Amino acid sequence: MTFSVSGKTAIVTGAASGIGLAIARHLVDKGANVMFADVDEARLDAEVGDEARAEGPIRMFSGDLTEKLTISNLLSATIDAFDRVDILINANRKMVVSEVLNPDSDAVEELWRQNVLSALRISQITAKRMIQHGQRDGAEDGAMLGSIINLSSIAAQATRPELLAYSMAAAAMDQMTRSLAVALAPKGIRVNAVAFGSVMSASLQASLKENPGFRDEIAAATPLGRIAAPAELAEAVQFLASDAAGFVTGQILTVDGGRGLLDVVTAPAH
């Protein structure tokens, strides 16, 4: 088995910043063709615009992935550029603090639409394309046709009232991963998730700017005693995307420095 993703084509959502950008860059560095997708067109262009226009292994796509038409256009743009799609990384995620007793600002509907439904819809449409490509290419029965990887959070298991909506969305993402894994396994598509915590995401960076003391709190709540760089999460994603994980599906791989093992979490999970 090999950890290589060289020559494969990946779509990475949420790729304009933070963890999504780190994952997309990592896959390019490992030889994959990557479509960087994000709603933030200006940020996306600033990060990869010149490289995308050079028409090498990088392309970019901007649009609201809560819209089905946008998702279809993303798939079409990827296939036009690279002829196929082998890997989907659902890194498009948002974190909003909830006001638990305020139904007008508990953020549940917002994060359900942004974090869960968008990932589900793009997974469904991409899986259909993967199956079509397998049929087109004459893939044998039992052949692996693709890998879908969702980004989740240890917040799915933590109970923090101010993270009501985020935790609900993360828990839904985990169950969605398992359900899709069972449904798509006979089609040759693996579906897994990475639940992270104590990783320097874009939302965590923003929190640290507002509350610098969170850094020490997070480190103290993490057995390995530090915040991980996004690249460390990218390595785990590469494993799940590669043939080395060819018999791994429906799993939630936790990358959190041991933080989820503690009974008390004193700082935001992110």
Distance CA 53, CA 73 (A): 18
Residue of 61, 166, 196, 214 marked catalytic: 166
CA gap 121, 241 in Å, rounded: 20
3-class SS letters over 194-258: EEECCECCHHHHHHHHHCCCHHHHHHHCCCCCCCECHHHHHHHHHHHHCHHHCCCCCCEEEECCC
Concatenate the DSSP letters of all residues of 80-106 into one string. Answer: HHHS---EEEE---------TT-TTSS
Decide if 92 contacts 70 (C-beta within 8 A).
no
CA distance 192 to 178: 7
For residues 10 and 7, give the distance between their C-alpha atoms in angstroms, rounded to a whole number. Answer: 10
Catalytic annotation on 166? yes
Which residues are marked as active site?
166
